[in-house]
Amino acid sequence: MSLKKKNSLLGTFAFRLTLWYAILFVLSLIIIFFISYKILVASLVHVVDRELSAATDKIDKEFLSQGLDQVKLDIREGIEEEGTNRIFYRMLTPQLNIVVTSDPLKWPCLNFPILSRWASMAAEGQAGFHTLSPRDRPYQIRILSQWVDEGRYVVQIGRPMKDEEELAKIYSKVFLGSVFILLLCGIILSWIEAQKSMKGVRRITSTAWNIGQGDIKRRVALGNEGEEIEDLAETFNYMLDRIEQLMTGLKEVTDNIAHDLRTPLTRIRGLAESTLGKKDIEQYRESVGTIVEECDRLAQMINTMLEMAEADAGLKKPDQASIDVVALARQGYEIFLPVAQDKGISLEFKGPLHPIVVLADASRLQRVIANLLDNAIKFTESRGSIRLEVREDKGEAVILVKDTGIGIAEDSQARIFEKFYRVESSRSTPGHGLGLSFVKSMVLSMGGSISVESSPAQGSSFIVKIPLQQFSKITKM
Which residues in this chain contact ligand ADP in the complex, by CB under 6 A?
Answer: 375-376, 379, 403, 405-408, 416, 421-423, 426, 431-437, 460
Cβ nearer to ligand ADP, comparing 123 with 416: 416
DSSP 8-state secondary structure symbol assigned to residue 470: S
What's the closest the beta carbon of residue 314 comes to ligand ADP, in angstroms? 22
For residues 144 and 60, is the Cβ–Cβ distance under 8 A? no
Q: Which of 248, 256, 251, 262 is nearest to 305 (CA)?
A: 256
Q: Which of 83/430 has CB closer to ligand ADP? A: 430
Between 164 and 403, CB nearer to ligand ADP: 403
- DSSP 8-state class, residue 468: B
Least separation in angstroms between residue 416's CB and ligand ADP is: 4
Nearer Cβ to ligand ADP, position 144 or 423?
Answer: 423
Other beta carbons within 10 Å of 384: 20
Closer of 52 and 416 to ligand ADP (Cβ):
416
- Neighbour-count burial for 442-460, b at 16+ CB within 10 Å, e otherwise: bbebbebebebebeeeebb
For ligand ADP, the closer CB: 338 or 430: 430
User: How distant, in Å, are the alpha carbons of 234, 369, 401 from that of 362?
Assistant: 37, 11, 18
Q: Which residues contact 453 (CB under 8 A, 6 or more apart)?
A: 460, 461, 463
Q: Which CB, 118 or 379, lies closer to ligand ADP? A: 379
* Shortest reach from residue 291's CB to ligand ADP, in Å: 21
Measure the CA–CA gap between 254 and 258, rounded to whole angstroms: 6
Angle at 228 between CA 223 and CA 230, to 5 degrees: 30
Considering the complex, state which of residue 156 and residue 375 has its C-beta at the smaller distance from ligand ADP. Answer: 375
Cβ pair 148, 155 in contact under 8 A: yes
Shortest distance, position 242 Cβ to ligand ADP, whole Å: 26
User: Least separation, in Å, of the C-beta of 302 and ligand ADP?
Assistant: 15
Cα(92)–Cα(84) distance, integer angstroms = 19
Least gap, CB of 341 to ligand ADP (angstroms): 18
CB of 438 to ligand ADP, least distance (A): 7
First to last CA, the chain: 52
CB 433, min distance to ligand ADP, A: 4
Torsion of CA 430, 432, 434, 439, to 10 degrees: -10
The gap from C-alpha 440 to its chain's centroid, in whole angstroms, comes to: 35
